[in-house]
Amino acid sequence: MFKHVFLTGPPGVGKTTLVQKACEALVSSGVGVEGFYTEEVREGGRRVGFDVVTLAGERGHLSRISTSHGRREYTVGQYVVDLPSFESLALPLFRHVSRTVFIIDEIGKMELFSQAFIRAVRQTLDGSSCTILGTIPVPRGKPLGLVEEVRSRRDVKVFTENRNALLQDILSTLQECLKHSSHNQ
């Protein structure tokens, strides 16, 4: 039986949008939801970075295009990851997971620079208090340890997003996860 639902697909295919739609549908049906998603930041029509946004509406930097040519500790392509900003916003959400569905968008290269984030995700996956709806990148190049762990878990259902109507499938699977987890408490 699945306990968690993850979406995968190439960048820009609509994973975050689908997660946001699923959140809206869950909330409107009375399901408690908390967590975070990542959002592109654009200036003048050009992507300049990503923010992490909590479902409560708090926002902080995840990454920005590098403007310096000095030593950079955490980079993914042209983006410099703002680890303190990400951790200060995302990590407290894991400390008191009290809602039925917890959103993690996404478990990707930028987020995986944080060892505390990796530990928090593992603890939440192994805990019994919530169902996770999250996103993971498609496998490319060197495998990402935690992403492959999530993908291979027997209690995780992975949907591949390709701009088709997956919302109903995801919501049905989440409802099954929720039914199953409420019987086990």
Q: What is the pTM of this model?
A: 0.88
Tally of helices (H runs) and strands (E runs) in the chain:
5, 9
CATH of 4-182, picked from 3.40.50.300, 3.30.70.330, 1.20.1250.20, 3.40.50.2000, is 3.40.50.300
Please give the chain's pLDDT, 185 residues, in tens: 789 999 998 888 888 989 999 999 999 999 999 999 999 999 999 999 999 999 999 999 999 998 776 666 799 988 999 999 999 999 999 987 777 899 999 999 999 999 999 999 999 999 878 899 999 998 888 889 999 999 999 999 999 876 555 788 888 888 888 877 665 54
| 67/85 Cα distance (integer angstroms) | 18
